[in-house]
């Protein structure tokens, strides 16, 4: 089954926690702190795989996670870094943040490999926090938390030319004649449920053409498989509009073109404005004596700057002239491929770095709790706790860092004492 969309959850590795330990050696009874740093968590990386052409691998598994970093060890030992996870995707895959729909990465052109989620940084061991006033710190920095994100993957095919038209107008037959593609061909509506890519070889250079499966009225609103198919035309520079000139199914070819163009306009006006050429197909099925539908198409569209070619995808009549005209159109259009710019930056949504601190119940005094940590010590140094504004600022800091929550988890009661670097406070909710 062809799969051009998938929705998955990705998670980077958590950074390893810093370690708390102290040097213990013979003849060194009071060795200093020697807790090592935690390892970095693994990244989530997307990489283009030339051998892939669908996203079907991501239909059967939802969650992908990089490895967590290891905790630091004694004797200043650094924890091992977590392994990255590399997710391979076909060229042309666009990665969106699932909730907002914003673009995270476009895996096409020169962008072959991109780190989408960075692993958490490892925490510092307690050896980093020794000061003249705190020579035996009992705290270390936790590793940065993992990042988790739900993303939507969409494959938007890379092609110079998009082939559009109603179902059963002969697109698959046309593609099989002009390229090396081998699409399934049958006389049923929506036979082609898979966008097909093929390379047209011409003297002086060719181009890539994509058969966009049959569009129907209402496709821009998602009727039928409209949205799934229309996304594949977003990167094309020129559009070949194939129409059944012989009206073998009783439809009016002029009205067909207007209908499909309306759908393109509704889906994305910028796509509808791209250079277009009309291929009036099935001229081998025209009966002599009837009004010439090709001339009618020319009278209607050529004054508007849209060239009409009479072709037969079955016999090959008129096909070469059409292809050389399209090649000329491509040479006149900008060669720059359509690229989706990044709109969502996961690093902007990082959880704030956790601060190292310890909250413990005093062993010597009843109903007393002791809080230690480098940031707390520093903040007490520059905060004026005598002023109401300064005290409120410090209270807010304790709440935002999770220290108050830790105290409540330890069972602190109103009226109990909280001690921090020579300051004693009474606890009240």
Binding residues for Mg(2+): 172, 192
Query: DSSP secondary structure string, 345-392?
Result: -GGGGPPPPPPP-EEEE-SSSTTEEEEE-HHHHHHHHH--TTSHHHHH
Name which of 136, 137, 126, 134 is nearest 35 in CA terms.
Answer: 126
Contact between 40 and 82 (Cβ < 8 Å): yes
Which parts are annotated binding residues for GTP? Answer: 165-172, 190-194, 211-214, 281-284, 312-314
Contact between 373 and 139 (Cβ < 8 Å): yes
CA angle 334, 335, 340 (to 5 degrees): 95
Where does residue 305 fall: left (phi above 0), alpha (psi -120 to 50 degrees), or beta otherwise?
left
Which parts are annotated binding residues? Answer: 165-172, 190-194, 211-214, 281-284, 312-314
The set of long-range contacts for 216-221, using a CB threshold of 8 Å and a minimum separation of 24, is 216/166, 216/167, 217/259, 217/263, 218/263, 219/263, 219/267, 220/262, 220/263, 220/264, 220/265, 220/266, 220/267, 221/266
Cα distance between residue 113 and residue 65, in whole Å: 17
In terms of Cβ atoms closer than 10 Å to its own Cβ (0-12, 13-18, 19+), residue 365 is exposed
Contact between 232 and 153 (Cβ < 8 Å): no
């Amino acid at each position: 089954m062809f799969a051009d969309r998938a929705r998955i959850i990705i998670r980077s590795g958590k950074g390893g926690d810093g370690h708390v330990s102290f040097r213990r050696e013979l003849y060194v009874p009071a060795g200093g702190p020697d807790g090592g740093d935690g390892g970095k968590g693994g990244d989530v990386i997307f990489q283009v795989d030339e051998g892939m052409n669908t996203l079907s691998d991501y239909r059967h598994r939802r969650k992908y996670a990089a490895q967590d970093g290891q905790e630091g060890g004694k004797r200043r030992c650094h924890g091992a870094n977590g392994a990255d996870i590399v997710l391979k995707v076909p060229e042309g895959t666009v990665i969106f943040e699932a909730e907002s729909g914003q673009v995270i990465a476009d895996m096409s052109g020169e962008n072959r490999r991109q780190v989408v989620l960075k692993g958490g940084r490892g925490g510092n061991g307690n050896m980093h926090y020794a000061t003249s006033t705190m020579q035996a710190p009992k705290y270390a920095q936790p590793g940065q938390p993992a990042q988790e994100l739900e993303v939507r993957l969409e494959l938007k095919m890379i092609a110079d030319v998009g082939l559009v038209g109603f179902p059963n107008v002969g697109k698959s037959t046309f593609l099989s004649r002009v390229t090396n593609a081998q699409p399934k061909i049958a006389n049923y509506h929506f036979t082609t449920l898979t966008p097909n890519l093929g390379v047209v070889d011409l003297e002086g250079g060719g181009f890539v053409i994509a058969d966009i499966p049959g569009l129907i009225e209402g496709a821009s609103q998602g009727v039928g498989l409209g949205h799934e198919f229309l996304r594949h035309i977003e990167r094309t520079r020129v559009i070949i509009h194939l129409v059944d000139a012989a009206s073998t199914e009783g439809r009016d070819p002029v009205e067909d073109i207007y209908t499909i163009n309306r759908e393109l306009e509704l889906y994305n006006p910028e796509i509808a404005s791209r250079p277009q050429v009309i291929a009036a197909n099935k001229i081998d099925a025209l009966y002599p004596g009837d009004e010439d539908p090709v001339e009618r198409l020319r009278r209607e569209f050529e004054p508007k700057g849209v060239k009409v070619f009479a072709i037969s995808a079955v016999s090959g009549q008129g096909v070469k002239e059409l292809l050389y005209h399209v090649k000329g159109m491509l040479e006149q259009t900008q060669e720059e491929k359509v690229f989706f710019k990044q709109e969502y930056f996961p690093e902007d949504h990082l959880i704030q770095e956790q601060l190292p601190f310890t909250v413990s119940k005093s062993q010597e005094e009843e109903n007393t709790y002791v809080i230690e940590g480098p940031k707390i010590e520093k903040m007490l140094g520059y905060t004026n706790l005598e002023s109401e504004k300064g005290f409120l600022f410090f209270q807010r800091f304790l709440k935002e860092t999770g220290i108050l929550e830790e105290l409540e988890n330890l069972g602190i009661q109103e009226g109990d004492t909280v001690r921090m670097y020579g300051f004693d406070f009474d606890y009240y909710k």
